[in-house]
């Protein structure tokens, strides 16, 4: 239908056809209510287009389609290698459309184009290829007990999986969820974030083109409080996977309990980065900057608390501030030399500014930034200057709460024991980084830090082949790697009496 697509020209001159409907049963359709969500360009606050917003009735239709597809022989009985072939075909189609997808992601989200292309879209392709390779290698085992019994296990798909992805890495997070779910033989109802629906809808066109049967992948736009809640509480959904804030994760956990859904939650973080006095300072500066300032600080694993040993603290602060001045060029995300684009939305922009105000009012010392960044004469765009606070106590709001923006606190420590204690003094436990040339210390500290992931002499260099997830209030379960498959399959035991 013509009114379910619009012709758009992005700021970099790329012209393409943008779907605006709900993708159900391999077709784009209008929502039952006709309600729409307007996508805003965070660079200049202009409207890009509006897409249909799903309500509970639309979720019902999508779940019904997914259930039918799950039980239909075209998917249920497909050869596992053919299932992998479909995922691989999808990855090839994405490769062909990489520049368009990166353009949409930059326009809709605000991240630098070079990052969208070389990191986000690249990881989307690699992740789908990775799980394509797993599709025909998911198996059970025979368990030897005694001569009169044959016992074996079977890995089975869960059924219909609800997936709710965030706005900071739409394509990457879609890959982390779609890849293992489809490799295991599940069907999916995926909801894009209301702030960034456009790239996922374009991805849906490639799902159909790759040859997936109708209903296997259904993609909805919609608000979290309506479509997201309907997915989390739906009795026809067997699993829900969510990436987003801890507060929302708690609500999803409650709603999913209605039928004891299998759940995977990847939620908030306030990750520490520890720099010991024997660290390679050049390496520590480079990685600590990437760990907090990349993607406009909008990273769940952002190492936003930098803990530096007392003897090198002053030198580290000066060097880090210089790195920010040198590298963190704020501006138009389509410009080649831009490191930091705008925050994703006005809400997020105002949220980060409120934390900056809290840091100032609570007595922290502002070393750099601390203001909105203006890139043009009309003051449009959700840009924030990279911000550094020192003289921060462990009771301050900016030390304890997740900001999700380009704001970092730098705090001294004296001993290894104090560093570990400070690192663990948080309700979160997603990631952590340790910089030291003493490998014994590195491994020792890595074991003591309460987090799902620890990087030694790097920060935030996650990999789709390695498990990703947190402890404490940073989530439940793991994504990526072989562990991601376990989140989308059940282990059935079969007992055979041979007597």
Ordered alpha helix ranges (H), 244-345: 246-256, 281-293, 313-327
- What SS3 class is residue 167? coil
- H helix or E strand, kind and range, residue 449: none
Annotated catalytic residue 266: yes
Taking CA atoms, 327 is separated from 294, 340, 405, in Å, by 10, 9, 16
Copy the structure tokens of residue 452. 């799902």
DSSP 161: E
DSSP letter, residue 340: B
Q: Exposed, middle or buried: residue 4 (CB in 10 Å: 0-12, 13-18, 19+)? A: middle
Which DSSP symbol is given to 2? Answer: G
Helices within 110-245 (DSSP H only): 113-115, 122-134, 170-183, 198-210, 229-233
Helix axes 170-183, 98-109, angle to 10 degrees: 130
Whether 479 is a known active-site residue: answer no
Would you give the DSSP letter of residue 228? Answer: I
Taking the C-alpha atoms of 225, 69, 253 and 169 in order, what is their torsion angle to the nearest 10 degrees?
A: -70
- Dump the DSSP string for 385-447: --EEEES--TTSHHHHS---SSEEEEEEESSHHHHHHHHH-SS--SEEEEE-S-HHHHHHHHH
140 to each of 134, 259, 492, how far by Cα in Å?
14, 26, 9
Of the listed 119, 266, 402, 479, which one is catalytic? 266
Which residue out of 161, 184, 300, 480 is catalytically annotated?
300
**Positions marked active-site:** 266, 300
């Amino acid at each position: 239908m013509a009114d379910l697509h619009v012709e758009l020209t992005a700021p970099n001159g790329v012209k393409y056809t943008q779907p605006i409907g709900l993708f159900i049963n391999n077709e784009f359709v209008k929502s039952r209510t006709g309600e729409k969500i307007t996508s805003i360009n965070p660079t200049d606050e202009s409207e890009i287009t509006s897409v249909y917003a799903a309500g509970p009735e639309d979720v019902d239709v999508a779940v019904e389609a997914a259930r039918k597809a799950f039980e239909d022989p075209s998917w249920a009985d497909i050869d596992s290698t053919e299932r992998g072939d479909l995922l691989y075909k999808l990855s090839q189609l994405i490769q062909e459309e990489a520049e368009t997808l990166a353009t949409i992601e930059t326009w809709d989200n605000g991240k630098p184009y070079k990052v969208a292309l070389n990191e986000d879209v690249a990881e989307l392709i690699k992740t789908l290829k990775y799980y394509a390779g797993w599709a025909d290698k998911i198996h059970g085992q025979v368990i030897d007990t005694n001569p009169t019994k044959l016992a074996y296990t079977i890995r089975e798909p869960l059924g219909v999986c609800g997936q709710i992805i965030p706005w900071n890495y739409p394509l990457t997070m879609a890959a982390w969820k779609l890849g293992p779910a489809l490799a295991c033989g599940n069907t999916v109802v995926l909801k894009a974030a209301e702030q960034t629906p456009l790239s996922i809808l374009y991805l849906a066109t490639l799902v159909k083109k790759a040859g997936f049967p109708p209903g296997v992948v259904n993609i909805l736009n919609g608000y979290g409080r309506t479509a997201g809640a309907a997915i989390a509480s739906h009795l026809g959904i067997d699993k829900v996977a969510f990436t987003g804030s801890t507060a929302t994760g708690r609500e999803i956990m409650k709603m999913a309990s209605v039928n004891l859904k299998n759940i995977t939650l990847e939620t908030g973080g306030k990750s520490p980065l520890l720099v010991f006095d024997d660290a390679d300072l050049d390496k520590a500066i480079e990685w600590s900057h990437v760990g907090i300032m990349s993607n406009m600080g909008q990273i769940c694993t952002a190492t936003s608390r930098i803990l530096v040993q007392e003897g090198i603290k002053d030198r580290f602060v000066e060097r880090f501030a210089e790195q920010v001045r040198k590298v963190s060029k704020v501006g138009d995300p389509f410009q080649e030399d831009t490191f930091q684009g705008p925050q994703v939305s006005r809400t997020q922009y105002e949220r980060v500014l409120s934390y900056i105000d809290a840091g100032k009012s609570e007595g922290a010392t502002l070393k750099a930034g601390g203001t909105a960044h203006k890139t043009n004469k009309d003051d449009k765009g959700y840009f924030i200057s990279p911000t550094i606070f020192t003289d921060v106590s462990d009771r301050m709001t900016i030390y304890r709460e997740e900001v999700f923006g380009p704001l970092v606190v730098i705090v001294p420590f004296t001993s290894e024991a104090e560093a570990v204690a400070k690192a663990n003094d948080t309700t979160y436990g997603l990631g952590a980084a340790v910089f030291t040339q003493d490998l014994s210390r590195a491994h020792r500290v890595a074991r003591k830090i309460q987090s799902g992931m620890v990087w030694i002499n790097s920060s935030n260099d996650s990999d789709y082949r390695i498990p990703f997830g947190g402890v404490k209030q940073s989530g439940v379960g793991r994504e990526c790697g072989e562990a991601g498959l376990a989140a989308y399959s059940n282990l059935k035991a079969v007992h055979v009496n041979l007597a």
